Amino acid sequence: MAYLELAAGIALLLFCGDMLVRGAVALAVKLGIPTLVIGLTIVAFGTSAPELVVSLRAALSGVPGIAIGNVVGSNIANILLVLGLPALICATSCDQPLVIRNTAYVIGASLLFILLCLAGPLSFLHGSILFAAMVAFLIESGRRAAQSSDAAMVIGSEAIEIIDGVSGLPARPYMVSLFMLIGLVGLPFGATLTVSAGSEIARTFGVSDVAIGLTLVAIGTSLPELATTLTAAIRGYAGLALGNVLGSNLFNILAIMGLTSMVTPVPVPDVILRVDMWVMLAAALAITPFVMNKGSITRMTGLVFVLSYILYIYLVLAPHISTASDLASN
């Protein structure tokens, strides 16, 4: 039953997050807000809404392992799995505008997050620092974009729809309101189902909340990014997927953990401090050579990424599987 609740919770998160994005983008378009601003703010928030509500609900429910494991696990999955799988279909170009800068921001945000976690538990002050860094990034990105005359920053509407996942926007005002209402009401319900089911599964099999957050919940909340990058690869826009992943990872660290820590203190589990934080940083560093050389993530590299992610999931779950097997045999 818990597995059905978890699947239903994640499905509700994905559906309602998508509805919220479509409704909010349609409203922004009607209000005449520039496309770039929509992409940097509304779409970034909407596609990360599942991670946000899950982390908030988990922290408020007293399961910080899911709260922080969801963010760290999602960032690892975004690079190794979300970039790795599309590369098996089509090589991912790393020469898009601002990719070097955004990669540097992700690495810097990861280091800042690690430092704050080492000084944890994450408090309102820590969350304020993270969220302020997100606001500074958005302001700086908007300023650079406004001043830029780089024609490469202007991409076709088809590519925008593929990467942002916002095609099929509602046109009529009442439909816009309905889309947003469904998203705003449904997301908390999905988060409650996901956190409660994940906690129940963890208790049943003796798996820690941290492991559930790093694996099942993280993969589930990363499905929107995986779906859009796979679609991008199939349609020949694989290079644009990297920017989507970088933006998602940056938003996860700075905005989601920032807001969550500002609402309630978030203790940082020791295992995440010892292992998973550094895997997250290593994953971000793994794409740096391709970005700096403006090369491509080839099929072979994509295969290495995917196999590395499978190995990571195994290492996270293996101790718990072994323990459960020992208990069953006794």
Instruction: Please report the pLDDT score of residue 132 as a whole number.
Output: 95
Give the chain's residues under pLDDT 70.
14, 17, 20-21, 25, 28-29, 32-48, 97, 144-169, 187-188, 191, 195, 198, 202-203, 205, 224, 227-228, 231-241, 320-330
Please give the backbone phi and psi of residue 297, each rounded to the nearest 5 degrees, phi first.
-85, 105
Cβ neighbours of residue 5 under 8 Å, at least 6 residues apart?
193, 196, 197, 200
220-263 per-position pLDDT tens digit: 777 767 766 776 666 666 666 677 788 888 888 999 899 999 98
Please give the backbone phi and psi of residue 93, each rounded to the nearest 5 degrees, phi first.
-70, 140
Instruction: Please report the pLDDT score of residue 181 as a whole number.
Output: 80
Instruction: Please report the pLDDT score of residue 41 as a whole number.
Output: 57
Return the SS3 of 34.
coil
Question: Residue 75 and residue 219: Cα distance in Å, rounded?
Answer: 10
Instruction: Please report the pLDDT score of residue 3 as a whole number.
Output: 76
Protein fold of 2-329: A middle domain of Talin 1 (1.20.1420)
Question: Residue 269 and residue 282: Cα distance in Å, rounded?
Answer: 19
Peptide bond before residue 121 is cis, with ω within 30 degrees of 0 = yes
Integer CA distances (angstroms), 54 to 19, 50, 81, 210, 218, in order: 17, 6, 20, 13, 10
Instruction: Please report the pLDDT score of residue 312 as a whole number.
Output: 93
Instruction: Please report the pLDDT score of residue 147 as a whole number.
Output: 64
N-term to C-term CA, the chain: 25
280-310 per-position pLDDT tens digit: 999 999 999 988 888 888 889 999 999 999 9
